[in-house]
Structure 1
Amino acid sequence: MFRYTLTALVLFTASTAISSENIADKYPGSLLYDEPVEVIPGVWSAIGATAPPTYENSGHNNNLSFIVTGDGVVVINGSAAYALAKALHDEIKRITDQPVKLVFNENGQGHATLGNSYWAEQGVPIVAHVDAAHEVEENGGPNLQAMKGYNRDKAEGTTVQVPTETFSDEYIVEMGDFRIEARHLGPAHSPGDIVVWLPEQSLVISGDMAFHERMLPIFADTITADWLETWENEFEALGATYVIPGHGHPTNMAQVRRYTRDYLIYLRGKIRDHIDAGGELTDAYYVDQTPYTHLDTFEELAKKNAGRVFEQMEWE
């Protein structure tokens, strides 16, 4: 199996000018958008498309990671559909004969949780933050219907499966050669966001705490001031050498800082200037975001992000 080193992946993310939205499925023999790569020894990730979910990418537009510990496999993200989770499991079986013993949901969104139904069928415990589990209970049905809309026949077998175990602050696993710390660092991108921290390897699977190749989305319940506080006080404090983000290739802290923390500060600054000048919401959508036009999903998200930050900052 062809493997990339982390160094090669970092160089790729720094130098490529090709939008992932314009690249066809990289792994046509599987529902996965791309073949899993070994980032560091024992830690693998199937890198999803940095584009909206479509039938062509099977909803694999986030990263599906797993850790081969020596005493079992830990999967990070249930995936967007039953069939997609099975495709990931097929790849895991090609790599190791160790059984999957645990699945983490990085948050309560559909592309992290709708594949839970496959893992539950295998008898694998599914762990998430309590707020993410609540999101699945509240929004799992609508998320499933939306996924069926684009995935059509690829949605077959998918049902809403809530996590089987929850936690509030941290969930620590000692398995094989790894100490695996699932942590809720604080408010960030969406309710129940967690990171999976490997302290001995200095690697963090950041989930949607950190973005870099695609523009981050700001939802109605994304409080950007809180996200920045969590970043400054908790995420940076990890001192991670390696970062596997929720979307995009593995990279380093400097890269995700530039396109997550720095973007949030930049956009909030532009909106603050707009508000101080007496600007209204109708014009806030058009504040200058040109330094970020090269990011995938810019066209889909930039105006929405500006509008939502205006709505928040108007009352700060």
Structure 2
Amino acid sequence: MMRYVLPFIFFASPLLASEDISDQYPASALYSKPIEVIPHIWSAIGATAPPTYENTGHNNNLSFIVTGDGVIVVNGGAAYVLAQALHQEIKAITDQPVKLVINENGQGHAMLGNSYWSELGVPILAHVDAAHEIAERGPFILENMKRYNRDKSEGTFIAAPTITFEDKYSIEMGSYTIEVLHLGPAHGPGDIQVWLPEQSLVIAGDMAFHQRMLPIFEDTIVYDWIETWETGFEALNATYVIPGHGTPTNMDQVRRYTRDYLVYLREKIGEHLDNGGDLAEAYYVDQSPYRHLDTFEELATRNAGRVYEQMEFE
């Protein structure tokens, strides 16, 4: 198997995703210009901040694979204008048409840009649980996006996936073998990973975080996420990881700030419960080893409270 030196490790720090920089690519609606992670596999790295008008909601990674017989896009983006901007970048790189869009889950930044791709007739692939999430919560997610994106939300509508799967969806396109995997419950309903075994690269989606603190949602079962990591994601043994948020990296980094963080937080909350602690105090368990992560201030106390609620009756 051919191995590549990661080109992004030579980038100067201003090209890193950041919570402090509102927009790294003023010429585009995208937060940053796409980078070639390894040959023919690109990603436009989003801000590690919450979605804002300034970053147009581009706070996740919009990736694409130039296969030689067409382009596969991973994530529709948080708005029509973001998908359109990504397409402009793709057309500047290759004249191969976009043949498939994959939604990493049912969240807004994964699927609201489906509206643009659907107008072009591009098939859209998602896990069945993500498709259900889009059907059930899509209008609510769209209205939330409109509140912060205002005029930048123009043209965005809910476009459902046209192809769904349950466990695995295999693609042979050009010179690439691509496996779209649902390894089990993780961050949210319908989380998937795009695995390129010959390149040893995984587009991990929200399975994996490393530069920003991961959020634990009401429907995020932390115990299940850890189990899915240990029994499925870790077994990929990927050399290259494009996470859902933040710059491309490796398994050691995402393990440290995803699996290990979840284990750490459960241990802290477990100690708190053993000492008779209540929910009000649980919000303030020690998470200082992760204080340097972007979005720590927004998410740390909320994460602790949700883990307490899950563990209280285990």
Q: Is the TM-score greater than 0.5?
A: yes
Give CA-to-partner distance per residue, 1:166-194, whole Å, 9 cap, x none.
Answer: 00001111000100100000000000000
Q: Which residue of the partner structure matches residue 239 of structure 1?
A: 237
Give the aligned partner of residue 27 of structure 1. 25
C-alpha separation in 2, matches of 1:262 and 1:228: 9
Q: SS at the partner of 1:212? A: coil
* Rounded Cα–Cα distance in structure 2 between residues aligned with 1:32 and 1:299: 25
CA shift, 1:195, in A, is 0.1
Structure 1 residues not aligned, in runs of 5+: none
Indicate conservation of the 8 Å contact 1:170/1:183, yes or no. yes
Return the offset for 1:20. 1.2
Letter in 2 for 1:60: H
CA contact (8 A) 1:244 1:251 kept: yes
Match of 1:114 among 112, 115, 122: 112
1:24 offset after TM fit, Å?
3.3
SS of 2:42 mapped into structure 1: strand
Equivalent residue, structure 1, for 2:153: 155
Matches within 5 A, 1:157-172: 157-172=155-170
Counterparts of 1:222 and 1:139, CA distance in 2: 16
Other-structure match for 1:37: 35
Contact 1:106 1:128 in 2 (8 A): yes
The residue type paired with residue 141 of structure 1 is P
Residue 7 of structure 1 and its aligned partner are, at CA, apart by 3.3
Deviation at 1:9? 3.0
What does the per-residue CA deviation read over 1:248-292, in whole Å, with 9 as the maximum and x for residues that have no partner? 000000000000000001000000000000000010000000000
Matched residues in 2 for 1:269 and 1:310: separation? 11
1:225-258 deviations in Å (ceiling 9; x for gaps) = 0000000000000010000000000000000000
State the partner residue of 1:253. Answer: 251
Distance 1:23 1:62, change over 3 A: same
Q: 1:16-69 deviations in whole A, cap 9, x for unaligned?
A: 9x9811123111000000000000011000000000000000000000000000
Paired-residue identity, %: 72
Listed as ranges, the gaps of 5+ residues in structure 2 are none
Paired position in structure 1 for 2:212: 214
Residue 87 of structure 1 aligns to a residue whose secondary structure is helix
Partner of 1:140: 138
State TM-score, norm by structure 1. 0.96
Shift in CA distance, 166/261, structure 1 to aligned 2, threshold 3 Å: same
Q: Secondary structure at the match of 1:91?
A: helix
Cα distance, 1:12 vs structure 2: 6.3
Query: Could you list the per-position Cα deviations for residues 108-135 of structure 1 after superposition, in whole angstroms to 9, with x for gaps in the alignment?
Result: 0000000001000000000000000000
Change (3 A) 1:24 1:37: same
Partners in 1 of 2:180 and 2:105 — Cα distance? 12
Counterparts in 2 of 1:92 and 1:115: CA distance versus 1, 3 Å: same
8 Å CA contact 2:17–2:46 kept in 1: the answer is: no
Tell me the amino acid that sits aligned with residue 145 of structure 1.
Answer: E
**Partner SS for 1:38:** strand
User: What secondary structure, in the 3-state scheme, does the structure 2 residue paired with 1:149 have?
Assistant: helix
Question: 2:8 maps to which residue?
Answer: 9
Q: Is the 8 A contact 1:78 1:105 kept in 2?
A: yes
d(CA) in 2 for partners of 1:263, 1:287: 13
Match of 1:192 in 2: 190
Mapping for residues 13-92 of structure 1, pairs under 5 Å: 20-92=18-90
Is the alpha carbon distance of 1:45 and 1:136 closer, same or farther for their aligned partners in structure 2, counting shifts above 3 Å?
same
In the alignment, is the contact (CA less than 8 A) between 2:102 and 2:124 conserved in 1? yes
